[in-house]
Amino acid sequence: VQLVESGGGLVQAGGSLRLSCAASGSTFDDYAVGWFRQAPGKEREGVSFINHPHSKLYYSDSVKGRFTISSDNGKNTVYLQMNSLRPEDTAVYYCAAGWGMSDQYIYSARHYDYWGQGTQVTVSS
């Protein structure tokens, strides 16, 4: 499975961006798919996920109410709509996919099998 992210960029605080994660080589039907982010000098942080077998959604407390994850199964693409962006959202955002993911591991990076190359999101104040 190959994951390709797009949609990052530079935006002012309060603005919006939409990230896309497109898969090739497999469908997302049996995968948990979502987004991690990593800012300079910080650990990788789980942001938002969709566990496709039961379509359960997850959001970290830091993005809840501002970010929305969605999936277009026909296009094998997962989106992350990011609204009300803040400077602290600045990071490299990585798409990840894990097969047959148990919900208890959804925020655990080491349980994901496939990763995208990352896309930079920069929010200016």
Instruction: Report the alpha-carbon distance of residue 52 to residue 29 in Å, rounded.
Output: 6
pLDDT at 74: 80
Find all residues with CB under 8 Å of 90, minimum gap 6, and list them. Answer: 39, 121, 122, 123
**Type of residue at 59:** Y
Q: Give the side-chain half-sphere CA count within 13 A for 30.
A: 5
pLDDT at 57: 97
pLDDT at 25: 87
Neighbours of 82 (CB within 10 A): 27
Element (H, E) at 91: strand 91-99
Q: What is the pLDDT along the chain (125 residues), one digit of tens a residue?
A: 999 999 999 999 999 999 999 999 888 989 999 999 999 999 999 999 999 988 899 999 999 999 999 999 787 999 999 999 999 999 999 999 999 999 999 999 999 999 999 999 999 99
pLDDT at 26: 86
